[in-house]
Amino acid sequence: DGTLGDVLISDGQKGILHSIPMTFVYLIIFAVITTIILHRSVLGRYIFAAGRNELATKYSGINTGLVIAIAYLIAGFCTAFSAIPFCIYTGSVQPTSHGAFFELYAIAAAVLGGCSLRGGEGSIPGILIGTAILIVLRNMVNLLGYPTPLSDAITGGVIFVGVIIDQHGATGLKKLFKRKVKAG
């Protein structure tokens, strides 16, 4: 019917040279911009500092309330920016048909990518690698024919292992599985 949605769907799926989807191009551009903001700007340093230790950041003279508000504004913009290609891809904008467990997948991808659940650590390339690993795990479960709840259990397991490593380091994971042997 010639609406904007039809134009965006047909143009958005073509991509560059008909082989690289435009959503992937948007991802790369967005990742580069976000990496520059987080790792090469004062605002990025303030965000990481407020994430590591908000009280120490506040005592050092940084307005942590403003920094946190800006971080939430950026997160809202990122959500809106990513929702547009997602709605184009699925061809629907009904809130009841999308978004189930996406927050769980986002947390798992961030943990796999090296982000601390306590805040103040992480990188965009790490998150992209964590996302790729999570997608491969989910696809392996689907290709092997296992039920979908198993895929969700794997995602939960990834978060569980990430919490242990985040709290105790890699030695915490070793201690969890290490068998104690008494010297005789």
User: Helices (DSSP H) in 15-123: which residue ranges?
Assistant: 22-40, 42-52, 54-59, 64-90, 102-112
Contact status, residue 85 vs residue 12, Cβ threshold 8 Å: yes
Q: How far is CA 10 from the centre of its chain?
A: 27
Q: Provide the 3-class DSSP secondary structure of residue 20.
A: strand
Q: How many Å apart are CA 122 and CA 119, to the nearest integer?
A: 8
Nearest residue to 114 via CA among 132, 101, 127: 127
Per-residue pLDDT reduced to its tens digit, 52-105: 889 999 999 999 999 999 999 999 998 888 888 777 777 777 777 666 777 888
Q: Provide the 3-class DSSP secondary structure of residue 16.
A: strand
Q: Give strand pairing partners of 16.
A: 20
Q: pTM of the full predicted structure? A: 0.73
178 or 75, higher pLDDT: 75
Neighbours of 67 (CB within 10 A): 21
Q: What is the DSSP letter of 97?
A: G
Burial string for 115-148 (b: 16+ CB within 10 Å, else e) reads bbeeeeebebebbbebbeebeebbeebeeeeeee
Averaged pLDDT for residues 115-135? 85
Give the best-scoring range by mean pLDDT among 18-32, 83-97, 163-177. 18-32
Q: Give strand pairing partners of 20.
A: 16
> For position 74, what pLDDT does the model report?
92
Q: How far is CA 68 from the centre of its chain?
A: 18
Averaged pLDDT for residues 107-118? 82
- Per the prediction, the chain carries an average pLDDT of 80
